[in-house]
Structure 1
Amino acid sequence: MKKLLAFLLMAAPAFTSVAQTTVPTPEVQIKAAVLAAPADKRDGAAVYGYTGDGTLTLLRKGTNELICLGDDPKQKGFNASCYHKDLEPFMARGRALRKAGKSGQEIFDTREQEAKAGKLKMPKNPTTLFSFSAEEDDFNKTTGEVKNGYLRSVVYIPFATSESTGLPLKPDGPGLPWIMDPGKHNAHIMINPPKSASPAK
């Protein structure tokens, strides 16, 4: 979970060894990034990835409601995510704050305050994020193929609670949904299937 949260707060911190980092081609980044999306959403999703100097950039414009973030080549392992476009203000704010050097707690507190004040626009309807991850050796940076991947889902329902949804505060069993950060701007339903049941893309 910590790795997922760190990924969602991604930005472009100072690069100390960019020249030694292998950045896949835009085509490979797009191919791998959309593996996080449902199959029928992949062709139309917008995709963000990285340039050779580590800058996050739009690699492909989208024609549907999903935005995908490709794997950060600086980070160990593979991690891509796709989320509903209504989450973009929330995600973009997190990236901007991280780039400004804010800590995870500072980012959370700032977005909480801004959301409550109406300054940060949060989705009015439940919106989904899909996260797809794998070990470093299971991601082929030349072909974009990923083996033994793990797919999990998050449904954002800002300010919802256990009482308003009927969801437990922790999972009652493998793969069962539960609510995290209830009552907060980023309240969300976690759905983590058993790894043995997660499809390898």
Structure 2
Amino acid sequence: MKHVLSTLLIAALLGSCNSSDKSKSASAESTDVDTTTEAVAKIEKQLKKIETDEDLIATALMAAPAESRATSKVIGYNMAGEFVTLKEGDSEYIVLADDPKKDGFNAACYHKDLDAFMARGRALRAEGKSADEIFAVREAEVKSGKIKITPGSALHIYYGPNSAYDVETSKVDGAKLRYVIYTPFATSASIGLPETPSAPNHPWIMNPGTHRAHIMISPLENAIE
């Protein structure tokens, strides 16, 4: 009887060891697969830092609709720090490239009807005006008709925490799109949208009742373009 019990005990211990070894082996294999998958993904993306004016143009154009990228004008700071026209274009869109001297990534595409409004903001900022001063000046100029903002004019903002991009697709790693639709002097009551978002990705009106009133449509937290 004792001999039978000993045999059973030894068999159980051997089975437990084999099971443990298999579990460890499976775990190691899983880790190897995960590491390999990550490495392959990085190779496939071929991420590159934005280092040239060509890189600035390629990534900035991702803010524009795909069908208009070839014909859109691109402006912004070049790698030498000069504000220039990086690419000529004749579509309805003007694209503002990322500032290479700032952390992260932020490019914008706006309808050409917004150019006077945007250019005025850049000029006032260059003069050293504060955000509140710029707001006040443009408020007065829009009210007087000196600056015109066509209701419904859109701004697309392509932004993210990283500045590396996929050389095959020109997509910036981790970047998302946020949309702004200008509706000068509109209010929540006049267009029927809340002044705060009801839920992620839901439209709402910001700066209601002012020249800068606009509909905001932000991406979901985990959305990536």
User: After TM superposition, is the score higher than 0.5?
Assistant: yes
Query: CA–CA distance in 1 between the matches of 2:173 and 2:141?
Result: 40
- Aligned residue pairs: how many? 176
Code of the aligned partner of 1:150: K
**C-alpha distance after superposition, 1:52-103 (max 9, x if no partner):** 4312111111121000011101211111010000000000000000000000
User: Is residue 165 from structure 1 mapped to residue 176 from structure 2 by the alignment?
Assistant: no
Instruction: Name whichever structure is richer in helix by fraction.
Output: 2
Gaps of at least 5 residues in structure 1 are 1-21
User: Is residue 54 from structure 1 mapped to residue 81 from structure 2 by the alignment?
Assistant: yes
Q: Which residue of 2 is the match for residue 134 of structure 1?
A: 160
Query: CA–CA distance in 2 between the matches of 1:73 and 1:60?
Result: 16
Query: CA–CA distance in 2 between the matches of 1:139 and 1:79?
Result: 12
Offset at 1:23? 7.3
Offset at 1:159? 1.1
User: Is residue 113 from structure 1 mapped to residue 140 from structure 2 by the alignment?
Assistant: yes
Code of the aligned partner of 2:187: T
Code of the aligned partner of 1:148: G
Partner SS for 1:130: strand
Over 6 Å off, 4+ runs: none
Q: Which residue of 2 is the match for residue 24 of structure 1?
A: 51
Query: CA–CA distance in 1 between the matches of 2:167 and 2:123?
Result: 30
Contact 1:24 1:142 in 2 (8 A): no
Partner SS for 2:71: coil
Partner SS for 2:222: helix
Partner SS for 1:62: coil
User: Is residue 174 from structure 1 mapped to residue 174 from structure 2 by the alignment?
Assistant: no
Structure 1 counterpart of 2:130, from 81, 103, 108? 103
Code of the aligned partner of 1:182: P
The root-mean-square deviation of aligned C-alpha atoms, in Å, is: 2.0
Moved more, 138-147 or 106-115: 138-147
Moved more, 84-93 or 48-57: 48-57
State the TM-score, normalized to the length of structure 2: 0.73
Gaps of at least 5 residues in structure 2 are 1-48
